[in-house]
Structure 1
Amino acid sequence: MNYKLDKPQIENEQQAIETREWLESIDYVLQSGGAERVKNILRHLQVHVQEEGVVLPFTANTPYINTIPADKQPTFPGNREIERRIKSIIRWNAMAMVVRANREISGIGGHISTYASAASLYEVGFNHFFRARNENQEGDTVYFQGHASPGIYARAFLEGRLSTEKLENFRNELMPGGGLSSYPHPWLMPDFWEFPTVSMGLSPIMAIYQARFNRYLEDRGLKKPSDSKVFAFLGDGETDEPEALGAITLASREKLDNLIFVINCNLQRLDGPVRGNGKIIQELEAIFRGAGWNVIKVVWGSEWDPLLAKDHDGTLVKRMEEVVDGEYQKYVVESGSYIREHFFGADPRLLEMVEHLSDEQIRKMKRGGHDPEKVYAAYKAAVEHKGSPTVILAKTIKGYGLGESGEGKNITHQQKKLNELELREFRARFGIPIADEDVADAPFYSPPEDSPEIKYLQERRRNLGGYLPARKPHAKPLKTPAESEFEEFYAGTEGREVSTTMVFVRMLSKMLKDKEIGNLVVPIVPDEARTFGMESLFRQCGIYSHVGQLYEPVDADTLLYYKEARDGQILEEGITEAGSVASFIAAGTAYATHGINTIPFFIFYSMFGFQRIGDLIWAAG
């Protein structure tokens, strides 16, 4: 029997053959010439078709899958089982801390769900990446997400740094024996926390300017160059704060490859989804890639790898991309059969792909942020990346492990109490060895000092240089300038009219020339130096720029020309009071962070800008 193919069928087959030939050609180039050669060819192709009038649709997004494919993952170096047990104990103690505090004083607050979603993100960091400061290494700076503080306290408890009494007094700092502050707070816990990270949105901008200030110190010869990193942990909902994303182009412009953002994308904020009708990971990827950051997405756990390997025609990836975040949140609270029907059931090929999996197996397929191997691969790629800052977008579940009491639900951010049944379920899920008769009291649990868990935890921290967070000021006292330097100011102006700003600039100039402290003075100006008559300092001290000055300024033939230099002393921040105060904080805390007594001066023009940054001024205090 003869079958006659109609014209559309023939054209479709021809297009499929052409597409396959192009893909095979690209595969050949990839194997023979490598990734850079492929990129070069694709760039030439894009230019060629654009010259021929073909307009390609713009996208700053990559597919909604992990940036690092399974076959490119490094081998996980730790003991997965012991690390899982440590993480489970920390989860329990963090939860117990909040539950017990709210039993004692109803409404005292605290957060369970944020750390529950981010536990793997933190534990992989603590066990393999976060280096402490000591006499042999500079160490890393970590800005911990404020709402995750119970988990950080719970880990310090296992390390032996915090007592049971301290945990019992969570959010009760004035109790006998002392307590623990609600959020990271160096004033209340000066030996523990380095930086305040609440209100939300403060830590991202502070981290950016901290990373830049680290480079400033190196370029000016005030500290030795190092490979230390600045990590900032924040939530996806937090990125709606203007300060969170407002300075990200500074980081890429300055090529701050010492900066790593880790955004916990649990898709939920206090009232509901962060982007119910969209995809927050894709939105953030476009923003950061557009700003010049290296973006690493950690979307799917290892259980998805075999399915993606079989997805030769892209049907699964297409389905992953078309489902919105609100629907993904719905899957969290539904059964495996629901996910089979509503996610995989959209296409017969997808149903066939999971026909060998039970409903329970489908329900337990993890998101990437809960898979230590995926998280480790992302962190390793981030710390090894050169030339630009990195952001890791990790997909998680808010309230992970809370089960029916709050996992993935809109009310989970406010979850502060668990009943006895919920405590039993939590204990069983994470294998906490607490007796039935004790579980209702939500007791804190710590294994014996000689247990495999504690020995492993302590060994990992020893290998990374010690504990963190920890604040250890170690700067030497400065020698005060001679009083004779200021005698002219004591005498006054003898009837001459002189503006306050002129006197201040004169005082600043004298301090900048002082042999003892001059090199440590950090003038910080939000684009108002000429207003204050400070342009003489351009030539005297230079304006800091990591790349120096790549152009001839228009006023090069004048005495007070605009001089940028790699070792410049002035931080000319542009029109950003928030950025200026973030630099002020970095410089003002350098005595504790680096053992260097820098002396910052934030010089602002009027209250119109100053009144906008009350939170950052509080953080500075």
Structure 2
Amino acid sequence: MTTVARVSVDADKTLLAVERRILWLATSIVHHANHLRGDASGVKVGGHQASSASMASIMTALWFTGLSAQDRVSVKPHASPVLHAINHLLGDLDTEYLTRLRDLGGLQSYPSRTKDPDTVDFSTGSVGIGATATIWAALARRYVDAHFGGGKQTSPNGRMIALLGDAELDEGAVWEAVLDPQVVRLGELLWVVDLNRQSLDRVVPGIAYERLAGMFRSAGWEVLTCKYGPVLEELFSRDGGELLRQRIDGMPNAEYQRLLRVRGEELRARIAGGTPDPALVRMLASVDGPTLHSAVRDLGGHDLGGLTTAFQQADPTRPTVVFAYTIKGRGLPTEGHPANHSALLTPDQYAELARSLHTEVGDPWRPFEVGSAEAELCGQVAERLRRPDIARTAPPTVPVEVSAGHRGSGLSTQAALGRLLTDLRRAAPEVAARVVTVSPDVASSTNLAGWLNKVGVFKADEVGPEDWFADDPETRIRWAENTTGQHVELGIAEVNLVGALGELGATWSRWGQPLIPIGTIYDPFVNRALEPWTFGIYAGGQSILVGTPSGVTLAAEGGAHQSVITPSVGLEHPGVVAYEPAFGQDLEWTLLHAMRFVGRPDGCSAYFRLSTRPVDQSLAEVPAADREQRRRQAVAGGYRLRAPERVDVVIAAMGVTVPQAVRAAEELAEHGISAAVNVVTSADLLFRATRARTGLPTGGPAELVDESVLDVLLPPRERAPLVTVLDGHPHTLAFLGAVRGVPTTTLGVTGFGQSSTVADAHRLHGIDVTAIRDAALDLVD
């Protein structure tokens, strides 16, 4: 154990007074929300007084002695009242908000970068993701500095600090991020673990410190520990004190917690244990009751001096984690009780706390007196932490086209993606300079090889090792690592990929430099990565996620690699516009259109679902005179590909099923039935258009939605029945029948697939030519 040597702040009564005020304000914020404001519905407002008390000392020491204006801090979700209390004392949050925790327009339940009225550096709430966001923010900052900071600047520019609970270390996302090879070089990372040994419902059995510390050390992190405070350390120095240390070190977590609930001789007896050592008994007998009562609460996570030292000692050349032993609920009547996680102080307990902290229930928000040492300290810290206004660079103008054309019968949308990025460097270098691609060790299989060979691989701190396969004629990817590369490779960990996307997509608002982050991921694994990507979007990160290959069309890979519900995910996801183009030209138009909305205050993210199936590009040929109209319709959600004068039935197809729809229409013509074929490029935008027509909110930038596209696909004069088809769940397009209120049959995938040929897979799930034709025949009959 690397135990921190303390710096004494015992004489600093001012800092201790500020710590007590922070504890009081944090507790009062939750108390007011529940006992004074409440919810007329009878539903508990909630809040976490015990979790906040656990963090009060750590956050006091950090903000008031160890933080700089360049630092950014992720605060564990349940300590949000402490963050708001500190921001209030520093003049960053008006008093009126202290009464509005979890109130509409007030303070959010958990820290939110985009919704809270005060300074919040990272949105947290989904356990583990807020902590790992600091890793990807450090990487993103280095990327921005290296590419737009006037040269190859890769030294840390401010620390990325995460304050997290020990229970958060149960999350696999934490260890996926910690183990990434690039992380060990990020010396600006500082994590502080609130080691209170409690989860939501119990005291965690077993002492996990050594195991956790060993895992961090194995990943190359420096490990510091704040275990005991000055009172306990002084007792350990007495005769028999080493026996006391051994006794406490060897206690189960729950036994130690129980000590916090007793006093007097019972406390002395419980410390001594069932078969006490006589020397330990004599030592305990020499300690007066009040000292012993204070000693069991005197852990390193509440020692301002030890915490200050730990923050100063962090190794700037590698990540550091500080394990700070704390007591959940310290200073509250509920301290240490295993059921205190969501417990609220009663009015009587709240009054008791007011007396112990020398404050008043009737005036909980009373500020420090003007001119007092506490007020002066708050003013000094506020000035030190004042951040300059961000000078934002405007995103570059994205062209509507960059490629010469998409021809041939062997082009898939996945292959078209790689071509498009390469063409972008040639046709619009200022836009390409803002693109950063990210992949989880699948760059070649998602067709990024050509782009990667042109731009290189980003390395956070130095030029990478020599590529020993560069002269091998069979090598497709030239793995040149340097600080100016534009591709980030993150190993096989989808959660890391989308975590990095979120922070790369937030650089426009954090540091004024917009990026266009594009992540490629196997579409079946989108759901694995969905939660952290969602949280990144919630926190203001804008990026483009490309799921490829997709659907049962990935036939030979079997059911485990065939995605079914991802089209619905794209349609329903807030802050995201979703596309599933069928042709290379449609991909070019829609992807460039989506890029326009990334990296701006009113922007949004995008999700593209692509395929490896070659599609005959001639099916989408359009006369030059109609090209711009086709483009506008494609980016709005769809267009009519086959438009006969008489329409007996309409087939609306999305993605790789478009060629089947065209063929089905040809077979229907042989039966004397005239079928129109609509190409749906975005079920998402079509659904938004239906809402816009009724005046309902559509979400996202208003300019994305074009109601007129519905009249293109389903003209008011037509009352023809409708068949919808896609390589995904059929309910994705089921809403289209309601546009004109016509009979509708929805075709798609409703079960897990199995290994097969593409033809067999499409036939098995009823999305082949025969199924489409027969569905249309049934409707017409």
- Scaled by the length of structure 2, the TM-score of the pair is 0.63
Which of 68, 78, 82 is matched with 2:14 structurally? 82
Mapped pair 1:466 → 2:466: no
Q: Radius of gyration: which is bigger? A: 2
Deviation of 1:414 (Å): 1.2
Which of 215, 218, 231 is matched with 1:287 structurally? 215
- Partner of residue 376, structure 2: 455
Mapped pair 1:564 → 2:480: yes
Deviation of 1:418 (Å): 1.9
Cα distance in 2 for partners of 1:318, 1:465 equals: 42
- Partner of residue 416, structure 2: 503
Give the secondary-structure state (helix, strand or coil) at the position aligned to 2:20.
helix
Deviation larger for 201-210 or 368-377: 201-210
Mapped pair 1:390 → 2:320: yes
Which of 597, 600, 603 is matched with 2:517 structurally? 600
Which of 290, 302, 312 is matched with 1:380 structurally? 312
Give the secondary-structure state (helix, strand or coil) at the position aligned to 1:501.
helix
Cα distance in 2 for partners of 1:557, 1:396 equals: 56
Which of 442, 461, 464 is matched with 1:549 structurally? 464
Cα distance in 2 for partners of 1:115, 1:298 equals: 18
Asked whether the equivalents of residues 93 and 117 of structure 2 are also in contact (C-alpha less than 8 Å), the reply is: no
| Alpha-carbon distance change, 612 to 196 in structure 1, aligned in 2, over 3 angstroms | same
Deviation of 1:336 (Å): 4.5
Give the secondary-structure state (helix, strand or coil) at the position aligned to 1:333.
coil
- Partner of residue 360, structure 1: 290
| Alpha-carbon distance change, 252 to 361 in structure 1, aligned in 2, over 3 angstroms | farther
Cα distance in 2 for partners of 1:211, 1:347 equals: 51
Cα distance in 2 for partners of 1:246, 1:449 equals: 49
Which of 536, 550, 554 is matched with 1:620 structurally? 536
Which of 570, 574, 591 is matched with 2:508 structurally? 591
One-letter amino acid of the counterpart of residue 147, structure 1 = H
Deviation of 1:605 (Å): 1.8
| Alpha-carbon distance change, 108 to 563 in structure 1, aligned in 2, over 3 angstroms | same
Asked whether the equivalents of residues 88 and 431 of structure 1 are also in contact (C-alpha less than 8 Å), the reply is: no
Q: Cα deviation per residue 1:558-591 (whole Å; 9 max; x = unaligned)?
A: 3644413122221011111110011101111111
Cα distance in 1 for partners of 2:219, 2:148 equals: 29
- Partner of residue 338, structure 1: 266
Mapped pair 1:243 → 2:178: no
Give the secondary-structure state (helix, strand or coil) at the position aligned to 1:447.
coil
Asked whether the equivalents of residues 94 and 151 of structure 1 are also in contact (C-alpha less than 8 Å), the reply is: yes
Cα distance in 1 for partners of 2:159, 2:358 equals: 35
- Partner of residue 196, structure 1: 123
Deviation of 1:150 (Å): 0.9
Asked whether the equivalents of residues 204 and 245 of structure 1 are also in contact (C-alpha less than 8 Å), the reply is: no
| Alpha-carbon distance change, 168 to 126 in structure 1, aligned in 2, over 3 angstroms | same
- Partner of residue 141, structure 1: 72
Give the secondary-structure state (helix, strand or coil) at the position aligned to 2:180.
helix
One-letter amino acid of the counterpart of residue 307, structure 2 = V
- Partner of residue 597, structure 2: none
Deviation of 1:324 (Å): 1.3
- Partner of residue 611, structure 1: 527
Deviation of 1:535 (Å): 1.4
- Partner of residue 364, structure 2: 443
Deviation larger for 587-596 or 339-348: 339-348
- Scaled by the length of structure 1, the TM-score of the pair is 0.78
Mapped pair 1:161 → 2:92: yes
Asked whether the equivalents of residues 591 and 597 of structure 1 are also in contact (C-alpha less than 8 Å), the reply is: yes
| Alpha-carbon distance change, 218 to 79 in structure 1, aligned in 2, over 3 angstroms | farther
Cα distance in 2 for partners of 1:161, 1:615 equals: 30
- Partner of residue 429, structure 2: 515
Q: Cα deviation per residue 1:507-534 (whole Å; 9 max; x = unaligned)?
A: 2223345432333211011122111222
Asked whether the equivalents of residues 512 and 521 of structure 1 are also in contact (C-alpha less than 8 Å), the reply is: no
Give the secondary-structure state (helix, strand or coil) at the position aligned to 2:337.
coil
Q: How does 1:33-52 map to 2 (within 5 A)?
A: none
Deviation of 1:219 (Å): 4.5
Cα distance in 1 for partners of 2:304, 2:316 equals: 23
If asked which structure has higher relative contact order (CA below 8 Å, sep 6+), I would say 1
Give the secondary-structure state (helix, strand or coil) at the position aligned to 1:392.
strand
Q: Cα deviation per residue 1:6-54 (whole Å; 9 max; x = unaligned)?
A: xxxxxxxxxxxxxxxxxxxxxxxxxxxxxxxxxxxxxxxxxxxxxxxxx
Deviation of 1:557 (Å): 2.5
Contiguous gaps of at least 5 residues in structure 2 = 538-781
Cα distance in 2 for partners of 1:81, 1:199 equals: 37
Cα distance in 2 for partners of 1:413, 1:180 equals: 20
| Alpha-carbon distance change, 498 to 154 in structure 1, aligned in 2, over 3 angstroms | same
Cα distance in 2 for partners of 1:589, 1:507 equals: 24
Which of 100, 113, 116 is matched with 2:53 structurally? 116
Which of 356, 367, 378 is matched with 1:429 structurally? 356
Cα distance in 2 for partners of 1:231, 1:129 equals: 11
Cα distance in 1 for partners of 2:117, 2:531 equals: 19
- Partner of residue 6, structure 1: none
| Alpha-carbon distance change, 343 to 171 in structure 1, aligned in 2, over 3 angstroms | same
Deviation of 1:487 (Å): 5.8
Asked whether the equivalents of residues 234 and 263 of structure 1 are also in contact (C-alpha less than 8 Å), the reply is: yes
Cα distance in 1 for partners of 2:437, 2:118 equals: 28
Asked whether the equivalents of residues 397 and 408 of structure 1 are also in contact (C-alpha less than 8 Å), the reply is: yes
Q: Cα deviation per residue 1:273-321 (whole Å; 9 max; x = unaligned)?
A: 12x2x11323321221222211111110101222333479953443233
Asked whether the equivalents of residues 212 and 254 of structure 1 are also in contact (C-alpha less than 8 Å), the reply is: no
| Alpha-carbon distance change, 312 to 208 in structure 1, aligned in 2, over 3 angstroms | farther
Q: Cα deviation per residue 1:156-193 (whole Å; 9 max; x = unaligned)?
A: 222333223222221112xxxx3111111223237632
Asked whether the equivalents of residues 76 and 124 of structure 2 are also in contact (C-alpha less than 8 Å), the reply is: yes
Q: How does 1:216-227 map to 2 (within 5 A)?
A: 216-220=143-147, 222=149, 224=153, 225-227=155-157
One-letter amino acid of the counterpart of residue 184, structure 1 = P
Deviation of 1:456 (Å): 1.3
Asked whether the equivalents of residues 252 and 292 of structure 1 are also in contact (C-alpha less than 8 Å), the reply is: no
| Alpha-carbon distance change, 282 to 333 in structure 1, aligned in 2, over 3 angstroms | farther
Cα distance in 1 for partners of 2:15, 2:307 equals: 13
Q: Cα deviation per residue 1:337-393 (whole Å; 9 max; x = unaligned)?
A: 3342232453222233343311221110111111101111111111xx133211110
Deviation of 1:75 (Å): 5.0
- Partner of residue 579, structure 1: 496
Give the secondary-structure state (helix, strand or coil) at the position aligned to 1:603.
strand
Contiguous gaps of at least 5 residues in structure 1 = 1-61, 133-138
Cα distance in 2 for partners of 1:330, 1:312 equals: 23
Asked whether the equivalents of residues 235 and 265 of structure 1 are also in contact (C-alpha less than 8 Å), the reply is: yes
Give the secondary-structure state (helix, strand or coil) at the position aligned to 1:116.
helix
- Partner of residue 92, structure 1: 24
Cα distance in 2 for partners of 1:84, 1:542 equals: 52
Deviation larger for 342-351 or 608-617: 342-351
| Alpha-carbon distance change, 150 to 191 in structure 1, aligned in 2, over 3 angstroms | closer
Across the two proteins, how many residue pairs are aligned to each other?
521
- Partner of residue 400, structure 1: 330
| Alpha-carbon distance change, 79 to 446 in structure 1, aligned in 2, over 3 angstroms | farther
Cα distance in 2 for partners of 1:160, 1:254 equals: 36
Asked whether the equivalents of residues 204 and 234 of structure 1 are also in contact (C-alpha less than 8 Å), the reply is: yes
| Alpha-carbon distance change, 313 to 180 in structure 1, aligned in 2, over 3 angstroms | closer
One-letter amino acid of the counterpart of residue 308, structure 1 = F
Cα distance in 2 for partners of 1:336, 1:599 equals: 64
One-letter amino acid of the counterpart of residue 246, structure 1 = E
Asked whether the equivalents of residues 120 and 371 of structure 1 are also in contact (C-alpha less than 8 Å), the reply is: yes
